[in-house]
Structure formats: C-alpha cells, structure tokens
C-alpha cells in the first residue's frame, strides 16, 4: 500500500510531506510524492522546481523512507490528478496541505483541497502549516 502526498513547495506542502512521512512509517507503507501543474501559466507557485524536488529526495532518503516522486506537467489540475491517482487500489491515504482562504476567495476561485476531500475514494488527511 502507498500514502500519496500532494506536494507543493510551500509551508503547507512541507507540512503535508511531514505528515505523509509519519503516516507511511506508522502504516509500514511506501510514500508517493505527487507534484502537478497544468503548465498553462507563466508562474505557477504549485510547480516544484528541480531544486525543490532534490531537497525532497535528500530529506526522504536521509529519513530512510521508501518513496517515489512523480511530477506531472501539462495535464489536468492538481485536484483531478490526485483524485484519479487515489482511485488506485494501492493508495491507502491522501495527505494534503491546507492554507487559509477567505469565504469570498473560496467562492471565486474554488478549492482544490475541497475537491480532493469530497471526491477522493480513500481517506484524506488535511494538515495546516506550522504557525
């Protein structure tokens, strides 16, 4: 079985990664770190650069965690990619980071986290960044 982490290079993404490592260890499972971007914007804060992914690899290797990293660029939005991957029988848990947004912000922009929470076929652990 595998714990899937939706990773972005932000404090929320780092919180999700830490929680995913803890869950994978406690379950004796592999960790799958997923970063995705539609690739249709000049600047995408959610897209992890190679230096970000190298940091994640070093960190996870140093912790002795069995892991894989996937980065999908030019596909669908992050929520769609994560929910589809969560449909695999190998995924036991999805871990995502949450950021605070105003009610108006949620109304105007939607929420990938909300879509993952509602549409994922397996349990989802949503964590906040340390304050």
Range of the domain at 18: 2-128
Given a cut of 80, is residue 41 above it in pLDDT? no
Please tell me the total count of domains within the chain.
Answer: 1
Number of residues written out for the chain? 131
d(CA 33, CA 110): 23
For residue 67, give the CATH number of its domain. Answer: 3.40.50.620
Cβ atoms < 10 Å from Cβ of 94: 26
Neighbouring residues of 94: CB distance < 8 A, sequence distance ≥ 6? 3, 4, 5, 6, 82, 86, 116, 120, 122, 123, 124, 125
| pLDDT score, position 108 | 46
pTM equals: 0.90
d(CA 109, CA 115): 12
- What is the per-residue pLDDT across 96-113, written as a single tens digit (0 to 9) for each? 999 876 665 555 455 889
For residues 22-33, average pLDDT: 98
């Amino acid at each position: 079985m595998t714990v899937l982490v939706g990773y972005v290079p932000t404090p929320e993404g780092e919180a999700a990664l830490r929680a995913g490592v803890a869950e994978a260890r406690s379950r004796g499972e592999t960790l799958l770190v997923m970063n995705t971007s539609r690739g249709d914007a000049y600047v995408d804060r959610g897209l992890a650069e190679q230096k970000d992914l190298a940091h994640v690899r070093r960190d996870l290797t140093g912790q002795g965690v069995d892991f894989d990293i996937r980065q999908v660029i030019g596909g669908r939005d992050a929520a769609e990619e994560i929910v589809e991957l969560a449909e695999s029988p190998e995924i036991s848990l999805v871990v995502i980071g949450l950021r605070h947004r105003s009610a108006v912000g949620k109304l105007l922009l939607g929420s990938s986290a909300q879509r993952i929470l509602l549409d994922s076929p397996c349990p989802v652990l949503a964590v906040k960044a340390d304050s």
